[in-house]
Structure 1
Amino acid sequence: MQPRSLAINRTQHRSRASIPGKGTGRILYAVGLLWGGVLIVSLGLLWLGGAFEQRSGYSYLLPWCIATGILLVSPIVHQLYTDTFDPFHPVVFASWTYLFPGFFIGGLALIFGISEPYYLAYVLDERENLPLTFFYVMLGFAGLWIGFLLPFGRRLGGAIAKRLPDWNWRPADVVKPGLILMAIGLVNTILAFTFGILGFQRVDEIGAYDGLIYMLSLYWLEASFLLWLFIFRSERFNAIHYIVLAVLIVTSLTKSAFQGNRGSLITIFILVTCAYVMTRGKIGIKQTLAGGLIVVILLMIGMVYGTTFRSIKRDQENISMSEYAAYVGDTFSAIGSSNVIDNLSKGFGALGDRLDAVSSLAVIVSNHERLSTLEDAYGFSNNIWNEFSTFWIPRILWPDKPVTIDPAKYGDLYFNYSDNAFAVTPFGDLLRNFGPWGVPLGMMLLGFILRTLYTSLREGQPFSFWRAVMYYMLLTSVSYEGTYSATIPFLVKVLLIAFTGILLIRFFAGPGRLSMSSDPI
């Protein structure tokens, strides 16, 4: 029988790990301070260099940009004020991971001339369509928030939560099944790179099994999160923990290098941070400052690496794994041979363009009506209805199933460039398909779905390995950079594949114990 004080301590530990508090909000203060410092220094240099005077024609966008920023940050401010802050709350997560950086900081980058994409020339009547772009962002985000706040999702999520199984695993129970799941995911990840499904490459024709291989590669992500939960949940470390930690670090960094994109390191950071918050609950001052500094450093490293990799590989041609690995090595050599100033300059230049989500969305706002007649010829008109009506049929059963929107064809039509995947955003996709009213209504539906998932898996729930894993997989499957047509279908697919992973873990780990998973390994 446990001493009463130990039982109370463990109960309090579980409570802190499952209920978000204002301590976790400090990470955003650190990130905000660091980003603010970078922004102030950059704008000061631009001002001294006369860049602002040259681009003063965009100063009329400043009120629109500020209004958008205030709306996007308001859920965060509200939670901090009410002492309920949760950085992995669905609406808050959408704000700080993409929407706020892309449309507020990116908007400032556009206004002050840090971002000067070539496709701004495709925005007709800038004084009308650029402010209208900010308006649609505010309209869509408001719809997402309203859909989340409506009681229907909370009620449905509560009903689902009561019917979910109670699999209360100890940390020791998840190590073996987690490594098995990771092995399956790694095998499929290697296959995905080999067939051109992952990385900076593109297949000419989608194969019948390509989708299945990609979805099975997500087992690596699911297992990684589970094993990070194991690391943070354990009260004492031994040799097993260090082995698991080494496997996680090596596989994560290797995959990031082969991905060749600019955001892989941030994805790893979000994964680790989410696991930490879900198990520990609060973040101290030291972790806060370190986390904020890490975000900025990883962004810069990602920008330098991703830009260098793509400039060396040049195109998205599908190549062998040995050739691909050679490009990875050449990228590290090129970065190592450059001086620090050149790398930082390249990183800042790429960062400004990467953060600016306003310009690419403005191209859609400006041209969607004029180009709507050509979308049918390019094969992606009415892509939302087409995707929703066909995604449930596996390509294995329908090998010739058409792709509802090909990024290359979309880029060719709207941006006159097919070798890049331009940001569409759910707002732009809804506007293209349904017009202005489709933006808030479609985002309300997404908000309802996210509230259902949040209530059933996280809100007010005690810690559970399997619920935490499912919640992370579903939360991060929603892309605010891609199309709306892919968002909900992909969410359903991730739900199915992630739950099959949980069933595999359940097979090896058993149902667990009656007490919650707080026992040391």
Structure 2
Amino acid sequence: MLTGIILWAFAFLALFGFVWLEGGFSGTLSDYYLLPWAVLAGVVVLSPTAYLIYKRKFDPFHPLVYAAWSYIFPAFVIGGVIVSFNLVNPYFMVFIDDPKYNFPLTLTFISIGFIGLTIGYSLPLGRYFAGRLEPRMPDWEWKPERVWTAGVALIICGLAINLAGFLQGIMGFQRTIEVGTYDAVLYFLLVLLAEGTILLWLAIFGVKEKTGAYYIVLFLMIALIPFRVALLGSRGGLLTSIIPIAMAFRYSGRKLRWQTSAIFGTLVLVAVFIGIIYGTAFRNIKGSESRIEAGDYVGQVGATIDYLSNEDPAILLQNSAQAFADRIENLSSVAVVVANYERLAPYEASYNIENNIINDTLTSFVPRFIWNEKPPTSDARAYSALYFSYGDNSFAISPFADLLRNFGPIGVPIGMLLLGIYLRLIYALLIETPNPTMWKKVAYFPLLTLVSYESFYATIFPSIVRTGVVLVVSLLLVNLIVRTRIKSS
């Protein structure tokens, strides 16, 4: 695999140099100058997927496949096509000087970054560390029919934390101006909800005998989906509810036939589109992210449903299609950074985002209840205010742009290479392990999904440590509950 990656890298660099020296494209095709770059980036991003299919080892939740399809390919490759055909025109396009230079350069950085991610994954370091850790891992054996109580307990704790965050104004489509002492603690304790979700879906798909408990839990898990989507007001809320179901199905031992893949693929597309429709309407009706009373917030849900049920379907479809294009395309957001990071570097200190990768890594491990005056870690609003002249929104930055801002062009492949080593470690330790158990699959889900390809690179490794701590404590408690259930029966 590494040989193929190196060959692709040389081919990419050769084509890059040729097109660059030739001065790009001219004539009628000049308006679509970005398409070849988008296609080339697509080849780079989808190469691991093609390789795994060829080797008959395809796994939709393989770290490189998940990274490509969950964000990088739609946001940047399809996003490049959307930009080429002028299907979006965000106001911040004016901040991108010389688009014919900076857009291809942005796709170049993304491609090189993904090559770095793939090389890091392919290096033997991740598998080596996994091999050293494997003998020290617990040998817990959980049977699906024994985890109902523990899974429901995790769900209840997660929902309680979600409710607390909702009342605090830090969850859902709202935010507070001041950073609370325990905001980060509440946010990372939401891992409990993710654990409970994947654990119960694994049990649902893995249990052999369907008892009354099975049907009660199945009803609970299905009912939670529209409840969370409605309250969060997120355009990706429904999609994030489908992903753990698909992962649990995949890792429960069931065969992933093409019919099943087609069903899940259709569900994903439907989830994305419904999420865009509901989330856009909810945000438009609420108007802003300002915090409001819980009763008023719930009232926004009813108003959104009422609007969607009465609006002209043609208008709704048209508005949603445009919102879909706006949401998918994030290439232009990263291009703003590529075009301006050198010019704006002297001003980053005044916005507290200078050297944020190093600073956040050093300070984020100190809890805010110990250091009350701790500055916000990787403040997305400050970043948006500096680069987009609008601090009331959180614009996509991506790890690629964050590395570029902090360390220059060389930081992109090196930083992504380190991330690739981490991804190889968790996949080899928890999925490709010689001793696959249910608890490892439960742990894999939050450790994989904490890597956001839309957010700061600076938050990834502190998030790994925090999530790891929550996982260790909570899985110990789950194992205690499971053992107690076994003894009582």
Is 2:121 aligned against 1:154?
A: no
Is 2:419 aligned against 1:471?
A: no
Secondary structure at the aligned position of 2:88 is classed as: coil
Is 2:430 aligned against 1:457?
A: yes
Residue 242 of structure 2 aligns with an amino acid whose one-letter code is F
2:95 aligns with: 122
1:403 aligns with: 376
Measured against aligned partners, the alpha-carbon deviations of 1:210-263 in whole angstroms (never above 9, x if no partner) come to 111222232112101100001000123222111101111222321121111111
Identity of aligned residues (%): 39
Contact 1:170 1:512 in 2 (8 A): no
2:343 aligns with: 370
**Whole-angstrom distance in 1 between the partners of 2:316 and 2:471:** 39
Contact 1:192 1:217 in 2 (8 A): no
Q: How does 1:46-61 map to 2 (within 5 A)?
A: 57-61=30-34
1:394 aligns with: 367
CA deviation after TM superposition for structure 1 residue 290, in Å:
1.8
2:334 aligns with: 361
Measured against aligned partners, the alpha-carbon deviations of 1:320-345 in whole angstroms (never above 9, x if no partner) come to 21111011111111111112222221
1:64 aligns with: 37
Among 473, 479, 486, the alignment partner of 1:506 is 479
Closer/same/farther in 2, CA of residues 426 and 456 from structure 1, 3 Å limit = same
Residue 481 of structure 1 aligns with an amino acid whose one-letter code is E
Contact 1:169 1:511 in 2 (8 A): no
Which stretch has the larger CA shift, 465-474 or 332-341? Answer: 332-341
Contact 1:201 1:317 in 2 (8 A): yes
Measured against aligned partners, the alpha-carbon deviations of 1:24-55 in whole angstroms (never above 9, x if no partner) come to xxxxxxxxxxxxxxxxxxxxxxxxxxxxxxx9
CA deviation after TM superposition for structure 1 residue 463, in Å:
3.5
Among 118, 134, 156, the alignment partner of 1:183 is 156
Q: How does 1:79-94 map to 2 (within 5 A)?
A: 79-94=52-67
TM-score of the superposed pair, with normalisation by structure 2? 0.91
Closer/same/farther in 2, CA of residues 165 and 511 from structure 1, 3 Å limit = farther
Residue 164 of structure 1 aligns with an amino acid whose one-letter code is M
**Whole-angstrom distance in 2 between the partners of 1:212 and 1:460:** 31
**TM-align CA RMSD:** 1.6
**Whole-angstrom distance in 2 between the partners of 1:392 and 1:292:** 39
Closer/same/farther in 2, CA of residues 386 and 295 from structure 1, 3 Å limit = same
Among 193, 211, 214, the alignment partner of 1:241 is 214
Measured against aligned partners, the alpha-carbon deviations of 1:442-483 in whole angstroms (never above 9, x if no partner) come to 011111111111111111444411100001110011100000
Residue 264 of structure 1 aligns with an amino acid whose one-letter code is G
Among 382, 389, 408, the alignment partner of 2:355 is 382
Contact 1:408 1:419 in 2 (8 A): yes
Among 70, 73, 81, the alignment partner of 1:97 is 70
**Whole-angstrom distance in 1 between the partners of 2:322 and 2:352:** 34
Residue 448 of structure 1 aligns with an amino acid whose one-letter code is I
Secondary structure at the aligned position of 1:319 is classed as: coil
Among 448, 454, 457, the alignment partner of 2:421 is 448
TM-score of the superposed pair, with normalisation by structure 1? 0.86
Residue 406 of structure 1 aligns with an amino acid whose one-letter code is D
Among 248, 252, 274, the alignment partner of 1:279 is 252
Is 2:199 aligned against 1:213?
A: no
Q: How does 1:195-214 map to 2 (within 5 A)?
A: 195-214=168-187
**Whole-angstrom distance in 2 between the partners of 1:438 and 1:230:** 42
**Whole-angstrom distance in 1 between the partners of 2:374 and 2:397:** 22
CA deviation after TM superposition for structure 1 residue 83, in Å:
0.9
**Whole-angstrom distance in 2 between the partners of 1:72 and 1:466:** 31
Residue 135 of structure 1 aligns with an amino acid whose one-letter code is T
Contact 2:96 2:336 in 1 (8 A): yes
CA deviation after TM superposition for structure 1 residue 347, in Å:
1.7
Larger relative contact order (Cα-Cα within 8 Å, sequence gap ≥ 6) = 1
**Whole-angstrom distance in 2 between the partners of 1:406 and 1:315:** 19
**Whole-angstrom distance in 2 between the partners of 1:363 and 1:468:** 38
Aligned length: 460
2:23 aligns with: none
**Whole-angstrom distance in 2 between the partners of 1:419 and 1:336:** 30
